[in-house]
Structure 1
Amino acid sequence: MLVSVVALDPVLEAGIRSTLSACPEIALTTAAGEPRVVVMTVDQVSPSELDALRSVREAPSQPEVVLVASRLAPGDALHALAAGARGLLRRCEADAARLTRAALAAARGDCTLPPDLLDRLLRHAEAGGAGADGASPAWAGASLDDRERSVLRMVADGHETNEIARRLCYSPRTVTAVVHDITRRFRLRNRAHAVAYALRTGLL
């Protein structure tokens, strides 16, 4: 799988490239090489970084993006997911295993977040928090049942269908059907979009 690394700081870029080079499933390339995944490293998630993320997503090859940030607050995570990020990592936690897992998950269209950050987002949503733009959740009458919520939480943590099925004691077909029902009901594009939408609107 082709992966490129983007960072304003060449030292950080070299560090991330070195970390990813140890994974035999990943072949590093430049952005011009039409990568499947782009790993972006930033200090903070500000409007300029979000614009850069959107620009990467709009490239002809439409690569998925894993965003590695020095600071990553819940609001930052929601904005990054809404802008198209498929994986979020704090720089201090971006070791070889986590980077590789996030990149491979992004290539599958899955979404990964640090577990503690996901928990904070879920607590905020369960407390009735508003979306990332301060608005009330869309489709106010919509909700997820316990099974849908459990599956979507594990999708958000980057688990594959078979692993979700094993942990929740469902069949892989049931897990696939649950995700399909969520995306169809809310007119979402894929699993990652479902996670971003659910977190942003307070459904999770």
Structure 2
Amino acid sequence: MRNRERIVAAARELFVEFGPDVALDDVARRAGVGNATLYRNFPDRAALTHEVVLAVTSRTTLRAEEAAATESDPFAALSRFVHAAADERIGALCPMLSGVFDKDHPELLAERRRLEEAVEGLVARAMSAGRLRTDIAVGDVLVALSQLTRPLPGIACQGIDRFTHRHLQLFLDGLETPARSELPGSAATLEDLRRP
């Protein structure tokens, strides 16, 4: 693995474990490179954070596309994606998105659009097949996924991640038709998520 990839992988792990403000010296140490190598590849925290967000988003998009391509049952494809996105630690992006980097960078916006389109496709197919309740929208899936997979750095609840897939499955069971209750409020759309 090239140094740049090792640094991004190490940063992703440490951001998940300790939050986005982890010392860059720790990232270099985890990656098995010197500080000079880290700074040669990433001149500052913003550049490294940009690359981590891009990598996680891209890998999550690939998981959505793989689920759509390999699962014949549309709800199984959605479920597979949700669990795969949890394994990618998509929820770890949330604290990073409030950091000091360009969230509107064209590269990040393009990758976010790819992810949104892939998830929209999964949701639309499951809904068309009558397997997904119709009072939700793709934003509901993304919000729940983000909330249920967000790490809690520095808490005393070590090992809490072992419950992630269990709680995601409870969420998925609530999405499947027939609906067992009426949801309050309105469905969360992508437009709702983009509003400040």
TM-score calculated relative to the size of structure 1: 0.28
Relative contact order higher in (CA < 8 Å, ≥ 6 apart): 2
Question: TM-score, with normalisation over the residues of structure 2?
Answer: 0.29
More helix by share: 2
